[in-house]
Structure 1
């Protein structure tokens, strides 16, 4: 199960970077199309940390970061290779996949800070409560880390290009939207944790059977 969760985590990170180009409006909130996909990555690291421990969650974060760097490298190559004479969408291709260096740096920095902060807060609460109050550490860690993630990304990505009052408005709107998503995904966290624990218990039981037979 841990392998599937880590693969899903890395895959969603890569997809979120591509989807982020589009901005949509819902109920007065202007949000990047990647917001739901990206928020799911925090859900997954919470599940990994809850079931498999802090070290495994940290490994997933490192794997996701490396995956992003590799994908960005290959996207850069794909954008820079000369287009065929009949390919007439090079400008659109660059616009969608290329992104700006400033936005890419903002994405990577906010990712590293917020994901590691999330794991830190989540496990501080778990050390205090054990298996109890999963909803508390899932939501409380998100309240802190999503503010950090949103603030870091928007400030680095748009500083110098939009007025300060617009920056504050963007941070506030995206932060509120992310917190709403976090509150809604709490049942999914419980569901995935339950599935992962059952799978882990089966794996441990099988390992004990094998060990007993060998002995």
Structure 2
């Protein structure tokens, strides 16, 4: 049985991933900022991340970590449409949640994963972080933060391969999912491409099941197709 951790397990996709793992007969460890006690983790607080990893490490071998956190809008802050809307504090906030937080999670959770055999560390990223795929512009902070996250994934994968050559570190693009994160922008979504959290979770877990060691360091969409950097 896989021993799994889902970070961001109170969010739409994170909760659905944890539920899907539970339906498969597993008992995922659910961690989130909004959860109390030992289930609490704050990805903007390294001490909180380190403490959560230490607690998890006492329970045995850890085969799967999914980081399902993310920030696109908050209050009156929304994705920038033009350079005139750039605000240093908002960009820093985007990077803190979308790039730095997951990287620090990796810093503390990858070392407690196996040194031998297949294991997976996955983060929710986005196609919008692909530089080569950027045809529309805008959304500066979110694009840049997700691009940074994809670079973190690539770099972490290279280092992790030296520790365990069967470990897989990947980014996942879930598509547009009907959650609070995407809700203000769903009017732009093509028919048939807005997924429920439950469907998105199953799709992403299917992708993870099919990955092999050479896939480490890459970004895959919900169909299992690689997205170019």
Q: Structure 1 length normalisation: TM-score?
A: 0.30
Higher strand share: 2
